[in-house]
């Protein structure tokens, strides 16, 4: 049995490919069902965020398990396994632990230390549990990863400053608009977690007016209602039915919809920029993966279209001075990885240790019962003393073998020791 992760991430794969392979919230149950049904995947968790789609799995046969996940990703991307080859990353066993803990800690994010990814990791695990795809192995791993992410954020300043994609996107929009966001009319398309984060990040930016538009206006209303009273006064909700009109009256647009197809096409934006006159360029930040805005709209005069690649580059420049915090966070990850490994070794050794103790205890009890019939001269108090002495002797004799087994568990030496104990004690 091996634990593996196979997937595509922002450091190695182009945004266009991440667009195609990403799994929206609506598709998650179906995707987990397919992974759950694969013959070589006994457990699976699917992590699909803005800039990564990864499958964590417990596999019975390593190469067959990897192949099944690669086929799953290839099908989602509409390409072949071979075409994904140079972009697809494969990790196994200890590398999986280190990678997941780093992801949960924000060390692998486009926005270093971002707060959103920890929640995404936790929800991915919870969703896999709900779909009966995750089991005890990945459950223990993901639980520890979430604990590690929390510890990194509480003990370091890695999350200082720009701490989320939402804040980074608002900062990017402000940077690309002369005069920043002061007096701007802003449209937020989508009222999910990212849309809510963007709306909150707009507070204090001096915007004139904010519209939160969503498929279900009730969700948009909930986002507005959650804002502080002074902020909520300049924010209204709307549905997407009037998106064309909303685009025309906006100066800045941030799209955050989880969808497989663009919700804003070139024609809509062409109509929106035509009557702007001296209002300056329309700034659109597309935070969707897959993209919410048709990429070919970028050639329109009067439009500044930015996407996740632009955001990643801008944030990398903004947080370049956090290397000391990266070192501190990496140290915590290293500590937690070792703690997880130690706990795993103890769990791996537990069955053989239990079997050994049971075998010796059975022999001790049997021998005492045999002697009882021959030593009628001993009363109950004396037999209790004999019982206590033999228990203590057994505990002392088994202490060192137990410690050695736990320390060596999960290593070739540990496997040799286990086989030796099975042969010597017939367990």
- What are the catalytic residues? 50
276 three-state secondary structure: coil
Closest Cα partner for 418 from 328, 339, 355?
355
Q: Residue-wise over 369-388: b if at least 16 C-beta within 10 A, else e?
A: eeeeeeeeeeeeeeeeeeee
Closest Cα partner for 43 from 5, 81, 85?
5
Q: Residue-wise over 63-81: b if at least 16 C-beta within 10 A, else e?
A: eebbebbbebbbebbeeee
Query: Helices 323-372 and 94-104 sit at what angle, rounded to 10 degrees?
Result: 130
What DSSP assignment string belongs to 180-210? TTTT-EEEEE--SHHHHHHHHHTTTS--SEE
* Contact between residue 40 and residue 65 where contact means Cβ atoms under 8 Å apart: yes
Cα gap 99→96, rounded to integer Å: 5
The tally of CA atoms less than 13 A away on the side-chain side of residue 213 is 20
Closest Cα partner for 142 from 165, 112, 163, 120?
120
What DSSP assignment string belongs to 27-83? GHHHHHHHHHT-TTEEEEEEEEETTEEEEEEEESSHHHHHHHHHHHHHHHHTS-HHH
Question: CA angle, 99 as apex, 257 and 64 as ends, to 5°?
Answer: 90
User: Which residues sit opposite 235 in a β-bridge?
Assistant: 210
Residue 327 token pair: 């070192």
């Amino acid at each position: 049995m091996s634990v593996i992760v196979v997937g595509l991430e922002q450091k190695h794969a182009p945004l266009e490919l991440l667009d195609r392979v990403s799994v929206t919230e609506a598709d998650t149950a179906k995707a987990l069902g397919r992974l759950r049904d694969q013959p070589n995947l006994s457990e699976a968790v699917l992590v699909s965020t803005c800039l990564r789609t990864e499958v964590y799995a417990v596999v019975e046969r390593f190469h067959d398990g990897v192949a099944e996940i690669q086929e799953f990703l290839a099908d989602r991307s509409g390409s072949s396994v071979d075409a994904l080859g140079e972009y697809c990353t494969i990790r196994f066993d200890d590398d999986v632990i280190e990678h997941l803990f780093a992801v949960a800690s924000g060390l692998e994010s486009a926005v270093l230390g971002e707060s959103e990814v920890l929640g995404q990791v936790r929800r991915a695990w919870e969703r896999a549990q709900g779909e009966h795809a995750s089991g005890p192995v990945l459950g223990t791993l993901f639980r520890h990863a979430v604990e590690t992410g929390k510890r990194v954020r509480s003990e370091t300043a890695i999350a200082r400053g720009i701490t989320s994609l939402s804040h980074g996107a608002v900062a990017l929009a402000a940077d690309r608009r002369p005069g920043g966001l002061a007096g701007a009319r802003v449209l937020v398309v989508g009222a999910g977690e990212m849309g809510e984060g963007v709306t909150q990040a707009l507070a204090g930016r001096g915007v004139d007016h904010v519209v939160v538009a969503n498929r279900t206006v009730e969700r948009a209303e909930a986002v507005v209602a959650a804002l502080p009273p002074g902020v909520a006064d300049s924010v209204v909700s709307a549905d997407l039915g009037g998106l064309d009109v909303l685009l025309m009256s906006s100066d800045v647009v941030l799209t955050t919809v989880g969808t497989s197809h663009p919700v804003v096409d070139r024609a809509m934006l062409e109509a929106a920029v035509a009557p702007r006159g001296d209002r300056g360029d329309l700034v659109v930040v597309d935070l969707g993966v897959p993209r919410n805005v048709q990429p070919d709209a970028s050639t329109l005069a009067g439009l500044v279209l930015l996407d996740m690649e632009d955001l990643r580059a801008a944030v990398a420049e903004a947080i370049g001075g956090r290397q000391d915090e990266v070192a501190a966070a990496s140290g915590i990850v290293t500590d937690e990885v070792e703690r997880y490994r130690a706990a795993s070794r103890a769990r791996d050794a537990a069955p053989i240790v239990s079997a050994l103790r049971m075998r010796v205890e059975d022999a001790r009890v049997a021998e005492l019962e045999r002697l009882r019939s021959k030593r009628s001269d001993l009363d109950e108090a004396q037999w209790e003393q004999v019982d206590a002495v033999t228990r203590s002797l057994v505990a002392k004799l088994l202490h060192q073998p137990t410690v050695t087994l736990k320390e060596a568990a999960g290593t070739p030496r540990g496997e040799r020791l286990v086989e030796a104990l099975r042969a010597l004690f017939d367990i």
